[in-house]
């Protein structure tokens, strides 16, 4: 029986994912195939030296997953903390990133059919997973090992290769619907595919697909675990000092005219019976999941000419993300003595002077941003054989264009200031019709930022099997690549200069680079039981010079059912264009802090103001740095794959990664925790030139030229080292019986240690199992899958597990928290007994597990950590797919 090459490739790689030696597979005629992590096509009749996981796209669809982002939940090595459901606030663009080993999106290489994808428009440091056409996918291959010698110097943390179907005939339509048990979060999907032409018999194939996924928002108040930032019994009082009715200040005097009456609950509250100011519960206003709409499409034509395949493929995606946060905080504006709303009865005021107010623009409604990112990718590729050589070549052009638009809620600060000066606005009470009209006229509804990323590349690779060695044939591959990258990011200056809460300053930045590379790989079967792979790659960057990165891998198979593998490789990641040239902007901190000079330990000092200096979101100067150096890495792995009994496969792999000159900004938590060490990064209003004062929201109005803290400098920098190591475990078991066909699989990752330096020369800080600075690194992650099929009926059950960790704990000692472990169980049943139709009914989060409590204050969401949990709750899913 002769199997198609695609079937054999998938079967072999599935075997490798579970650690199965394909000796256990039924005897079949094998053909040369290529797997992720190697450039050599060969007959794979045994496991390789590479730790690879392979997930079938059909398996993902059967469990209700319809996006590339969702697929990462099945990957235990993934520590992703940035997804479309966490893109609350401006500046995110609705992006979803991959993040293997917790090393960051900039060190996880994302490929589509073995080639690069254009970096995200607003940040060239990573690929937006929303640009991957999930409906066209055949499988996802994850190489959990460095691959800089094969794909490029930045493949430090690993490689995720999304692979589309090679050809398609016939047609299909699929509709999906998911409804949470609680309010909001409804998902709807529609997929259409069609193609014709038999590539092998007719010499051509043309097919196309289009996919639309809509996701409705979830408001914070619709989920008890995330409805408020006021959880005093757990020590959480995440509020803002900019509230409605407004807090006021005049010199040393600070307070709120409504404080004595308890402020204006539920959003404006008095934290203590003696407090003279009010605080704003901003959490209650936000959407914990935004409205999203994702449209992707693919059209591909392939022709076979002799032993050569020529393909032209175009992929397009449009990601629309609408997010809402609390009303606009307008600070540093004044109410003059001539205003009818001047608080003349407030005790202690000098009635000849104005008062400064911090006014939450509740009458304007929630701030609403819409990000739209369009990605396009065109690839002309060819592969085939010439004599004893297999080759593949491609010409690629990809773009990612994005714009960020204000939909509602943001106001022109200067117009609000004028309304206060003219006595037409009352920051201490409800707005009348005339005031509402003025506020509406002050709203800005327009695009404030546009960005574009482009990648154009040409690659060529050829491989062959040379002379025979004692263990088999010697393999050789040679390759070359040339790549041009560019990046551009521009603001609309009139908008960003007048809307401080956007967290953006006027910017017009961009950069470009060329990268050329030569690579080679040798497969050396020393003896039948021992195979050596040696690879090397030279990359030349137009802006960061040349680098050579080798890789050595060994596979030892003393018996058929046992495979011992090891590898060593180096990496070199040049700073991304965004990390170098990205816009420098003064933006708000994630957490609230006390000014160490004017409010040390929460106590107002001489010259300080509680409404400005105590428990407030500070401001940071963030963005690119022209003085960055490349990161360098070393990766070592050692593993064993074996088959202890028939049909049961297992693998254990140890990995160890070391990075020097790691690129990041010093975490804001570290900056504010040690103001003495970082004193040269603190800038106060009195020390700033007038132009810079205008950009710092804290340095306007009465506070201009004062000792108020303007911002803390937190630009990208080479901070020091990262050291991490751990184990990957995999189990696979499959059997048939009279009751049907059963398959079980487990993929687990244990992070033994994750240490990093906050700055050069600093001691290493342990992050594994602990929330440090801005996020934790989970020690354990498991993904368990099981399936059963008998005739026309099948079922799937999946279990995802995240281990607990020590919380951020920026609270009093008695409230210190350990975040509990988190487990989600998904189940589905499929019936295919109706001709041309397959129906799947399922439930995600079967046991309605709520996100565990967390006292983190780093995200807009409070009471839990949205980056590591699922806010949807128990969700019923339905999928109907018809083939014709």
Helix residue ranges, H only, 558-616 = 577-581, 610-613
CA terminus-to-terminus distance, the chain? 27
Q: Compute, in degrees rounded to 10, the torsion defined by CA atoms 423, 259, 286, 424.
A: -10
Helix, strand or coil, per DSSP, at residue 599: coil
pLDDT at position 497, please?
85
The two three-digit tokens of residue 500, written as one number: 């401080």
Q: What is the mean pLDDT of each run of 10 residues along the chain (884 residues)?
A: 34 35 33 60 53 81 78 79 50 73 84 83 76 85 80 82 88 95 95 93 94 94 95 92 92 90 92 91 91 94 94 94 92 93 94 93 93 94 93 94 94 94 95 95 94 93 90 92 93 88 84 94 92 93 94 92 92 91 84 89 87 84 92 94 89 95 89 91 87 70 82 92 94 92 93 93 94 92 92 94 95 95 95 93 96 91 91 95 92
Cis peptide upstream of residue 266 (ω within 30 degrees of 0): yes
CA distance 569 to 51: 14
Beta bridge partners of 236: 231
- What the block records as the tokens of 520 is 């080679």
- Write out the E strands in 326-446: 329-335, 355-360, 367-386, 389-408
From residue 395, alpha-carbon distances to 115, 153, 314, 484 in Å are 10, 20, 12, 12
- Tokens linked to 501: 């809460």
State the pLDDT at residue 41: 56
Nearest alpha-carbon partner for 862 in 875, 853, 873? 853
The CA-CA-CA angle for residues 795, 100, 744, to 5°, reads 25
Question: φ, ψ for residue 440 (rounded to 5)?
Answer: -65, -40
Residue 789 DSSP code: E
Burial class (CB in 10 A: 0-12, 13-18, 19+), 578: buried
Q: Give the integer Cα–Cα distance in Å for 737 and 389.
A: 44
The neighbouring-strand residues paired with 723 are 658, 755
Going by C-beta distance under 8 Å and a sequence separation of 6 or more, which residues neighbour residue 378?
Answer: 312, 313, 314, 315, 396, 397, 398
Q: What is the DSSP letter of 442?
A: H
In sequence order, what are the residues at sequence separation of 6 or more whose Cβ sits closer than 8 angstroms to the Cβ of residue 279?
237, 239, 240, 241, 243, 263, 268, 269, 270, 271
Closest CA to 398 of 372, 379, 415: 379
Tell me the two tokens of residue 827.
């189940």
* Per-residue DSSP letter, 847: T
Element (H, E) at 59: helix 57-62
Coil, helix or strand at residue 772:
strand
pTM of the model: 0.87
Question: Taking each helix axis from N to C terminus, what angle separates 433-442 and 413-421, rounded to the nearest 10 degrees?
Answer: 150
CATH topology classification for 5-221+289-325+370-408+448-581+628-666+717-883: Maltoporin; Chain A (2.40.170)
Region of residue 24 (phi > 0: left; psi between -120 and 50: alpha; otherwise: beta): alpha
List the structure tokens of 511: 């950069």
Give SS3 for 234: helix
Identify whether the C-beta of residue 323 lies closer than 8 Å to the C-beta of residue 218: no
Distance CA 293, CA 784 (A): 30
Which distant-in-sequence residues (6+ apart) come within 8 Å of 738 by Cβ? Answer: none
Q: Where are the domains of the chain?
A: 5-221+289-325+370-408+448-581+628-666+717-883
For residues 861 and 871, give the distance between their C-alpha atoms in angstroms, rounded to a whole number.
Answer: 11
Nearest to 58 by CA among 745, 657, 879: 879
Query: Distance between CA 593 and CA 236 in Å, rounded?
Result: 14
* Cα–Cα distance measured from residue 267 to residue 230, given in angstroms and rounded to the nearest whole number: 10
Q: Which residues contact 120 (CB under 8 A, 6 or more apart)?
A: 93, 95, 97, 126, 127, 128, 373, 400, 402, 453
Burial label for 508, CB within 10 Å (0-12, 13-18, 19+), is: exposed
pLDDT attached to residue 504 = 75
Contact 268, 258 (CB under 8 A): yes
- Relative to beta strand 204-215, strand 291-305 is antiparallel
One-character DSSP codes across 274-328: T-SS-EE-GGGGSEEE-EEEEEEEEEEEEEEETTEEEEEEEEEEEEEEEEEESPP
- Whether residue 273 contacts residue 177, with contact meaning beta carbons closer than 8 Å, is answered with no
């Amino acid at each position: 029986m002769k199997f198609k090459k695609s079937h054999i490739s998938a079967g072999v790689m599935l075997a490798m994912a579970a650690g199965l030696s394909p000796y256990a597979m039924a005897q079949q005629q094998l053909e040369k195939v290529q797997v992720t992590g190697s450039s050599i096509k060969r007959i794979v009749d045994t496991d390789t030296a590479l730790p690879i996981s392979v997930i079938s796209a059909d398996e993902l669809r059967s469990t209700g997953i319809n996006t590339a982002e969702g697929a990462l939940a099945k990957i235990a090595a993934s520590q992703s903390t940035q997804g479309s459901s966490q893109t609350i606030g401006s500046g995110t663009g609705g992006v979803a990133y991959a993040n293997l080993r917790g090393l960051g999106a900039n060190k996880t290489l994302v490929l589509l059919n073995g080639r690069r994808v254009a970096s995200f428009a607003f940040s060239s440091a990573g690929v937006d997973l929303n640009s991957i056409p999930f409906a066209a996918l055949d499988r996802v291959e994850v190489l959990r090992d460095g691959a800089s010698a094969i794909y490029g110097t930045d493949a430090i943390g690993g490689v995720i290769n999304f692979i589309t179907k090679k050809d398609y005939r016939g047609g299909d339509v699929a509709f999906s619907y998911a409804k949470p048990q609680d309010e909001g979060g409804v998902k709807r999907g529609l997929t259409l595919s069609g193609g014709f032409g038999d590539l092998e018999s007719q010499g051509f194939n043309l097919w196309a697909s289009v996919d639309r996924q809509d996701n409705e928002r979830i408001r914070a108040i619709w989920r008890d675990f995330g409805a408020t930032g006021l959880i005093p019994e757990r020590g959480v009082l995440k509020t803002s000092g900019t509230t409605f009715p407004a807090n006021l200040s005049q010199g040393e005097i600070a307070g709120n005219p409504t404080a004595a009456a308890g402020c204006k609950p539920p959003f404006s509250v008095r934290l203590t019976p003696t407090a003279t100011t009010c605080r704003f519960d901003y959490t209650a206003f936000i959407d914990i999941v935004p409205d999203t709409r994702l449209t992707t499409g693919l059209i591909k034509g392939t022709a076979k000419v002799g032993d050569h395949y020529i393909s032209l493929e175009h992929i397009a995606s449009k990601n629309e993300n609408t997010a809402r946060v609390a009303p606009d905080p307008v600070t540093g504006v004044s109410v003059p003595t001539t205003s009818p709303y001047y608080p003349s009865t407030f005790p202690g005021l000098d009635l000849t002077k104005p008062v400064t107010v911090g006014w939450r623009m509740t009458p304007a409604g929630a701030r609403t941003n819409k990000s739209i990112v369009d990605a396009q990718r065109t690839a002309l590729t060819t592969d085939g054989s010439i004599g004893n050589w297999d080759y593949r070549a491609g010409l690629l052009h990809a773009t990612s264009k994005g714009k960020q638009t204000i939909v509602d809620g943001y106001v022109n600060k200067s117009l609000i200031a004028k309304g206060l000066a003219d006595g037409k606005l009352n920051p201490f009470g409800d707005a009348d019709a005339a005031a509402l009209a003025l506020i509406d006229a002050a709203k800005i509804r327009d695009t404030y930022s546009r960005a574009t990323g482009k990648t154009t590349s040409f690659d060529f690779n050829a491989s062959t099997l040379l002379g025979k060695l004692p263990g088999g044939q010697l393999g050789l591959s040679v390759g070359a690549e040339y790549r041009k990258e560019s990046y551009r990011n521009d603001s609309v200056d009139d908008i960003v200069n007048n809307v401080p809460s956007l967290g953006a300053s006027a910017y017009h930045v961009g950069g470009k680079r060329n990268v050329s590379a030569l690579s080679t790989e040798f497969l050396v079967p020393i003896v039948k039981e021992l195979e050596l792979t040696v690879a090397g790659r030279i990359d030349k960057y137009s802006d960061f010079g040349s680098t050579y990165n080798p890789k050595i891998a060994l596979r030892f198979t003393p018996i058929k059912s046992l495979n011992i593998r090891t590898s060593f490789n180096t990496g070199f990641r040049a700073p991304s264009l965004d990390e170098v040239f990205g816009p420098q902007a003064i933006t708000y901190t994630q957490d609230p802090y006390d000014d160490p000079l004017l409010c040390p330990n929460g106590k107002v000092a001489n010259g300080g103001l509680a409404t400005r200096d105590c428990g407030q979101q500070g401001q940071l100067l963030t963005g690119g740095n022209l003085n960055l150096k490349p990161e360098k890495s070393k990766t070592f792995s050692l593993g064993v794959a074996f088959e202890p009994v028939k049909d049961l496969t297992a693998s254990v792999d140890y990995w160890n990664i070391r990075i020097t000159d790691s690129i990041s900004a010093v975490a804001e938590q570290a900056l504010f925790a040690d103001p003495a060490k970082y004193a040269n990064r603190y800038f106060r209003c009195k020390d700033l030139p007038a132009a810079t004062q205008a950009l710092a929201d804290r340095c306007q109005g009465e506070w201009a030229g004062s000792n108020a803290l303007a911002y803390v400098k937190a630009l990208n920098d080479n901070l020091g080292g990262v050291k991490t190591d751990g184990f990957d475990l995999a189990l696979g078991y499959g059997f048939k019986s009279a009751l049907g066909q059963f398959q079980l699989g487990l993929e687990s990752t244990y992070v033994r240690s994750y240490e990093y330096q906050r700055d050069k020369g600093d001691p290493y800080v342990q992050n594994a199992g602990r929330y440090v600075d801005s996020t934790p690194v989970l020690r354990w992650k498991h993904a368990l899958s099981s399936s059963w099929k008998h005739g026309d009926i099948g079922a799937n059950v999946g279990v995802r597990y995240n281990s607990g960790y020590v919380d951020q704990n920026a609270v009093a000692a008695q409230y210190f928290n350990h975040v509990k472990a988190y487990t989600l169980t998904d189940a589905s049943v499929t019936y295919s007994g109706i001709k041309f139709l397959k129906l799947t009914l399922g439930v995600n989060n079967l046991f309605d597990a709520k996100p565990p409590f967390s006292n983190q204050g780093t995200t807009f969401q409070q009471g839990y950590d949205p980056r590591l949990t699922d806010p949807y709750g128990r969700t019923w899913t339905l999928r109907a797919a018809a083939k014709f």
